[in-house]
Structure 1
Amino acid sequence: MPEVVPAGGTAAFRSGQSRSPVSEEQEGASSFSSAAFRFGVANLAEKVQRRITRMLTAPESWRIGYRRLGGPSILETASVPETGYTWLPDDGRRFLADPFLIEHRGRTWLFCEEFPYATQTGIISVCEIGADGLAGPMRPVLETGTHLSYPYIFAQGDEIWMIPESSAARDVVLYRATDFPFCWQAERKLLDGIAVADATPIMHEERLWLFASLIDQPGGSSWDALGLFHAPNLFGDFTAHPLNPVLIDAASARPAGRMYRQGSNLMRLSQDCRARYGAATTVAVIDRLDPEGYAQTVTHRIAPPPIWKAAGLHTIDVGGGFEAIDVISRRPPVS
């Protein structure tokens, strides 16, 4: 073994300081104990440094999970199962949020917001969920230079359309797939000169309605004021509801995914932002939706299971035989 010099040992002796004579056995024991102590301190320091590094490089971020549906979705049960989800990989350089699913020609695709930390600007990306339930590589499909998120995707006629959030540009733009799923062309602006978040369309009583969170409200935020806009169809002129904002409520204003029908009821997903942005998803029955009025009744709240230690869940979608959600946490939830 190489010679180990204990702190304050030989170096101190050579500098003229006195010390008591010791035997060779005592000298060796002292050297070994000192070396072990220094090793322990160094090992503890390394562990602390690794923990600090993990905390700095793995910040709280949004993550997307999905599962194959062999039974009811969480929209039907109002409860998130603790296990069964596959979580898209997180390389620490970006987060993924706002999942939307679509089946096209027998294949299932998951669209989402991809937010690289380096650019601080969201883009729209997509991956395929194969027949084996495994997700393919994530690929960017739409970048505009301004922040994009919430890629609401849907089929109408023979075309596939997408309405991503572009509130930073103060517009709502309709895109058409020219070569699905990777190539998109801007077709028209549905709204212009107004900042709204998470525009969500629904056809109701021969009118196309656009639900969105109003960002420009004085003294408000981007999640507590609901605005409505309507048009005869996707290519008609949209009119703002005269009562905008039709709802002011941090618990159920901002959209959280695709609207759907449950029996004769029109159901709406929204974010519960009372505790924090995107803390949970609320489900409401729409009681009234017409050019003169709006009313809804919240029926239940969907939150991540406590075992996940996740701080929020703010988008839910179902399509192609799968269910997708996003949660915010420092690490992937249990699977």
Structure 2
Amino acid sequence: MQILPSFFGFTSKVRGWSIATFRINKGISEITMLDVPKQRQWFQVKNKECGGVADPFLIKHNNRYYMFFEYEYKKPLYKDADIAYATSKDGINWTYKEKILEESFHQSFPYVFKMKGDFYMLPESYQSNQVRLYKAIDFPKKWILDTVLFEGKKLVDTIFLIKDSVYYWFTTNLNTSELLLFYSDSFKGTWVQHPCSPISKDISNNRNAGAIIEEENHYYRLAQDATEGYGSGVNLFGIEKISKQEYQEKLIKKPFLYKNKGMIKDALHHVSFLEEDEHIVAIDGANFAIRGIEIK
């Protein structure tokens, strides 16, 4: 999550995000706000340094659940956030562990996935002007920079989809607010801009809100909606066609999940979906008044 100029009218940086997880027996396209439990146990890191947690990514390994997230700092620093993780036995009740990726620049959106037996992380690191791929050498604690996939632009919230042995990379240019699409013929290969790129400049869908979800041979893209301010919700799109020549997506649900009340009164902008017999969903949310921030 990149902290943007406030749309509430105060001049300091917005803080106070939290994360909640819940289980559900529905596919991603069937979920509505009515399925989000009213009584959620919100995960927070309660220490003097941390001002909030956001951008959760869930993964299960050796019968244990892991959640990687953006760890925000309370005080203004030369950067706003780094990457940390928590563990759980049931996917609902979480124990904070530690920060695992600290760089000299802002980091968020820790997209963690497994590829050919290894764990990788693709965090947002726009201040470096690079898309940086990290590899776990001691999962989940120790990570090293493996490859710089792209450089020269401020790209945020990068995700990918593998289809017919081609890698398709979805990312947003922070300077132009364009959702871009690239492809490559290998996981760490050179990116080629897709002929349909940019996909969108619309603030209701031009920024990713989580990883691509594959369910019953269908692909879904989660998109941040900022039409009512940063973090106003998430919309759901189905990918209809994707090849080196074509790209087409269809709106499935708008709004999908959105700021509402309680701990998500002021913002919600990220969803993680872990497929199991009973799926686990993670969302982030913010209620700045609850966290003691005066809203003008």
TM-score after normalising by structure 1: 0.74
Hey, what's the Cα distance between the residues in 2 that align with 1:275 and 1:66? 24
1:301-331 CA-to-partner distances (Å, cap 9, x unmatched) read 2214445561221111122753210012123
In the alignment, is residue 266 of structure 1 matched against residue 219 of structure 2? yes
- CA RMSD after TM alignment: 2.4
Higher helix share: 1
Hey, what's the Cα distance between the residues in 2 that align with 1:264 and 1:318? 16
Amino acid in the other structure paired with 1:193: G
Partner of 1:63: 18
Partner of 2:185: 232
1:200-245 CA-to-partner distances (Å, cap 9, x unmatched) read 111122211110111232xxx4xxx210111112122111223431
In the alignment, is residue 162 of structure 1 matched against residue 121 of structure 2? yes
Partner of 1:26: none
SS in 1 for 2:95: coil
- 1:144 pairs with 95, 103, 106, which one? 103
Amino acid in the other structure paired with 2:218: N
Tell me which moved more, 103-112 or 254-263. 254-263
Cα distance change on mapping 1:170 and 1:60 into 2, 3 Å: closer
Tell me which moved more, 129-138 or 308-317. 129-138
Hey, what's the Cα distance between the residues in 1 that align with 2:65 and 2:271? 16
Question: Rg bigger for which structure?
Answer: 1
- 1:95 pairs with 45, 52, 72, which one? 52
Higher strand share: 2
- 1:194 pairs with 138, 153, 176, which one? 153
1:53-83 CA-to-partner distances (Å, cap 9, x unmatched) read xx9x9x652211112x252266532324242
Q: 8 Å contact 2:109–2:157 — kept in the other structure?
A: yes
Cα distance change on mapping 1:205 and 1:94 into 2, 3 Å: same
Hey, what's the Cα distance between the residues in 1 that align with 2:21 and 2:56? 9
Tell me which moved more, 257-266 or 142-151. 257-266
Between the two proteins, the alignment pairs up a number of residues equal to 270
Cα distance change on mapping 1:110 and 1:309 into 2, 3 Å: closer
Hey, what's the Cα distance between the residues in 2 that align with 1:183 and 1:308? 32
Structure 2 regions of 5+ residues with no counterpart? 1-9, 292-296
Matches within 5 A, 1:1-335: 61-67=16-22, 69-72=23-26, 75-79=29-33, 80-89=35-44, 91=46, 93-118=50-75, 119=77, 120-131=79-90, 133-217=92-176, 221=177, 225-300=178-253, 301=255, 302-306=257-261, 308=263, 310-319=265-274, 322-330=280-288, 331=290
Q: 8 Å contact 2:20–2:284 — kept in the other structure?
A: yes
Tell me which moved more, 200-209 or 308-317. 308-317
1:111 Cα deviation after fit: 0.2
Hey, what's the Cα distance between the residues in 2 that align with 1:231 and 1:306? 42
TM-score after normalising by structure 2: 0.83
Q: 8 Å contact 2:111–2:123 — kept in the other structure?
A: yes
Hey, what's the Cα distance between the residues in 2 that align with 1:132 and 1:204? 29
